[in-house]
Structure 1
Amino acid sequence: MRYQTDFAPSHLNAPPRTLRLGRWTLHYQAFSRFAADGREPVLMLGGAFQSFRSFSAEVQELLPRHPVILLDLPSQGGNPQLAPELALVHLADLIAAFADELRLPPLMPIGLSYGSALAALFAARHPQRCARLLLAGVTTFGRPGARRLLGEGLDLLGEGRVLPFAQGALAGLINPLRLTETGISTAFRKSLLRQIQRLSPQEIERYRQNSQRLLDFPGFDHHPACPTLVLAGEYDHFTQPWEHARFAAACTDADCALIHNADHLAQFEQREACASFYRPFLQGAALPLASPGATRLARNRLTHLERRQEPRLAPLNRHGRLLHGEGGEWPVEIKELGFFGALLQADLPADLPYRGWRLQAGDLPPLDMLPLRREGDSLALVFPHTDATASEALAAQVARAEPPSVAYA
């Protein structure tokens, strides 16, 4: 490997280097302070809607201490090659083949969101190739609500409904109830929404393939054994803190740090808090018990972290109506109502249609909803937040409510 030594942010816009491995073309860029650098390199693996340009600040932060490689596998980031036949395990094996071909020393992958699944699989399947592993926004997708929302996004894209898809994706990436805490500006939210709305047909297909891989992934048969650090955003509803902690507990040698005032975009919202843990981790130094904006969770707490993240309120007016697009309408009692989901009680048909539902709750606009699970006459549901007006009205109602006892779907 020959590294580029004159890094500037503009270089991330340049055409990447390419490596051909059989049928597959990999895109990468590699930077260091030394052209021939035998140190263990950091390998950046990004998530949905991210490209090499997304990591300018991270590359600049890491370069004084580490070589840095940015890698786009087929159908990822800016790599236009489609690969619907490749499962997550195949892509993880391509990372190992990439390292073999370029004769790299053991890697230190940083996996963000979708990239976390790839990084973790690579570490588990190729332990000799992985020195250390850093994960954030862990996408193991065992939680039924997350899988339901991801599947709904794919259905919307299949129908050509990019605008509602973009609204729902934005609500997953940025927790609308915690904008004050995370410091996300209206301008940033609008910019990200426009970016998602303007995805090209090829970008949509890449997103579809990557999301389907996550839904098809059967789970880990064994977890990474190398030193591992998991960073969890305190208010991340898409990949929740307890899921990060459970993943860390399943690893042989892992720590989990809770990043305060952050959601799914923790590494962008609270850069210094994240860096206070990943700097010493990547250098093999002891981690702090806490730092400004972050707390390391005790190992004996990892499997006992509270799952109750979002309060579900008992609304003052519990009478509602469940509406279906084919003309059905049923009265319901709204037992619990939150921003991300609700619990209803009603006499409903035995076989509920999978999609096409709305909930009329009080004076709120009709809310698009997805049935999640049913027990007797109770129905738990999640809101995909595909309508901005309805979502904003619900968020305002939830924000005005008094702190309640909580329950979660």
Structure 2
Amino acid sequence: MRYRTHYNASLLSGAPDVLTIDGWHLQYLAFASRERDGRAPVLLLGGAFQSFRSFAREVDELLRAHPVILLDLPSQGGNAQLAAELSLEQLADLIAGFVEQLQLPALMPIGLSYGSALAALFAARHPQHCARLLLSGIAAFGRPGARRLLEEGLELLDEGRMSEFAQGAVTNLLNPLHLQDTGIAPVFRKALLRQIQRLTPIEIERYRQNSLRLLAFKGFARHPLCPTLVLAGEHDHFTQPWEHARFAASCPRAELALIHQADHLAQFERHDACAALYQPFLAGHRLPLRAAGSTRVPREHWLTLEKRSEPRRAPLQRQALLRHASGQQWPVELDELGFFGGHLHGDLPTDLPQRGWHLHQPGLAPLALLPLRRDAQGLAFVFALTEAEASLALAERIHPAQLPAVACA
């Protein structure tokens, strides 16, 4: 590997180097203080809607102690090559091929969101090539609610309903109930919404392929053996802290830290808190129990973390109507209601369609609803949260005077 030695942030927008393995193009940028550097490099793997430019601060800071490589696999980041036939496991194996062809020492991957699944699989399948592993936004367990939201997003894309798709995607990434805690500026949220609304056809296809890979993933056959640090935003409702903890519990050398006042984009919302953990972990130092902006969770607490990202309560107005796009409707009673979903019971049809439902409550706009689980006790559901005004009205009813008006704009 020959590293670039003169880093500045503008290079992240420039033409990457390309390594081809079995016809697949791997795009990368590699920086270090000297052209030939035998130290373990940090490998940055981003999530959906992220590019090399997203990591300008991380590269600048990490370069003080490590070589840094940014890698876009096919259909990821700025890499436009489509790869519908490749699974998550096969993409992880391409990282191993990258290491072997460039004769790199063992890597220290930092995987974020979608990139966390790739980084974790690489570490588990190729332990000889992974020295340390840092993950945030674990996105590979298939929690029923998260799966239904991903599936609904793909359906909306197929139907060309980009505004609704973008609204749902942003709500997943940025928890609307905690925007004041996470410090997300209205201009950032609106910019992200516009970015997603304006995805090109090739970007939509890449998102579809990556989502289908996650939905097809059956889980880890084995887990990373190397030292592993898992970071969870305390308000992350899309990949929840308990999911991070469950993954960490399967790794024999893992540590888990909660990032305060952060959600799914913890590394951007609370950059300093995350960065304060990066360097000691990558250097092999013991992490403090408490640090500025984070708390290390003791292992004995990992499997007892709360599995609900919000409290569910019986609403004051429990009577409602459940209407289907076919024109049929059924009276129902709400047992529990929250911003992200709830539970109801009623005399519903045996074969419940998966789409086309709206919940009608007095004083609220109709809310798109996705059935999750039906049993003798009733129906559990999640809200699609694809309609801005309806989502805002729901939030104001459940959490009055806590949600800024821009949360669902």
Q: TM-score range by the shorter chain?
A: over 0.9
Aligned to 2:101: 101
Cα distance in 2 for residues equivalent to 1:301 and 1:164: 38
SS of 1:243's equivalent? helix
Q: Structure 1 vs Structure 2: percent identity of aligned residues?
A: 65
AA at the equivalent of 1:266: A
Deviates more, 1:38-47 or 1:303-312: 303-312
Superposition deviation, residue 272 in structure 1 = 1.1
Cα distance in 2 for residues equivalent to 1:401 and 1:276: 34
Aligned to 2:405: none
AA at the equivalent of 1:367: L
Deviates more, 1:301-310 or 1:265-274: 301-310
Give CA deviations for 1:144-198 in whole Å, capped at 9, x if unaligned: 1001101111111111111100000000000000011101111110000001111
Superposition deviation, residue 362 in structure 1 = 2.4
AA at the equivalent of 1:313: R
Deviates more, 1:161-170 or 1:298-307: 298-307
TM-score (norm 1): 0.97
2:142–2:215 contact (8 Å) kept in structure 1: no
2:342–2:380 contact (8 Å) kept in structure 1: yes
Superposition deviation, residue 401 in structure 1 = 8.8
1:307 aligns with 2:307: yes
Cα distance in 1 for residues equivalent to 2:318 and 2:385: 21
Aligned to 1:376: 376
2:313–2:336 contact (8 Å) kept in structure 1: yes
Deviates more, 1:111-120 or 1:286-295: 286-295
Aligned to 1:391: 391
Superposition deviation, residue 49 in structure 1 = 0.3
Aligned to 2:282: 282
Superposition deviation, residue 337 in structure 1 = 0.9
Cα distance in 1 for residues equivalent to 2:401 and 2:12: 46
2:358–2:366 contact (8 Å) kept in structure 1: yes
Q: Which segments of 5 or more consecutive residues in structure 2 lack a partner in the other structure?
A: 403-409
Cα distance in 1 for residues equivalent to 2:301 and 2:314: 30
Aligned to 2:354: 354
C-alpha RMSD over aligned residues: 1.0
Cα distance in 2 for residues equivalent to 1:80 and 1:367: 36
2:273–2:293 contact (8 Å) kept in structure 1: yes
SS of 1:131's equivalent? coil
Superposition deviation, residue 142 in structure 1 = 2.7
Cα distance in 1 for residues equivalent to 2:311 and 2:362: 18
1:258–1:296 contact (8 Å) kept in structure 2: yes
2:110–2:116 contact (8 Å) kept in structure 1: yes
Cα distance in 2 for residues equivalent to 1:323 and 1:152: 18
Aligned to 1:25: 25
Cα distance in 2 for residues equivalent to 1:190 and 1:178: 16
Aligned to 1:161: 161
Aligned to 1:200: 200
Cα distance in 2 for residues equivalent to 1:33 and 1:54: 21
Superposition deviation, residue 377 in structure 1 = 5.2
Aligned to 1:321: 321
The aligned length equals 402
Superposition pairs of residues 59-98 of structure 1, within 5 angstroms: 59-98=59-98
Superposition deviation, residue 141 in structure 1 = 2.8
Aligned to 1:405: none
1:183–1:269 contact (8 Å) kept in structure 2: yes
Cα distance in 1 for residues equivalent to 2:239 and 2:327: 35
Cα distance in 2 for residues equivalent to 1:158 and 1:223: 35
SS of 2:303's equivalent? coil
Give CA deviations for 1:347-386 in whole Å, capped at 9, x if unaligned: 1010111100000122110000100000125111001111
Superposition pairs of residues 6-155 of structure 1, within 5 angstroms: 6-155=6-155
Superposition deviation, residue 306 in structure 1 = 1.5
Cα distance in 1 for residues equivalent to 2:381 and 2:392: 18
TM-score (norm 2): 0.97
Superposition deviation, residue 335 in structure 1 = 1.1
Superposition deviation, residue 309 in structure 1 = 2.1
Deviates more, 1:235-244 or 1:315-324: 315-324
AA at the equivalent of 2:166: A
Residues 361/336 of structure 1: CA separation in 2 closer, same or farther (3 Å cut) = same
Aligned to 1:407: none
Cα distance in 1 for residues equivalent to 2:199 and 2:142: 27
Give CA deviations for 1:239-298 in whole Å, capped at 9, x if unaligned: 000000110000110000000100000000011111121210001111111112100000
SS of 2:35's equivalent? coil
Superposition deviation, residue 34 in structure 1 = 1.2
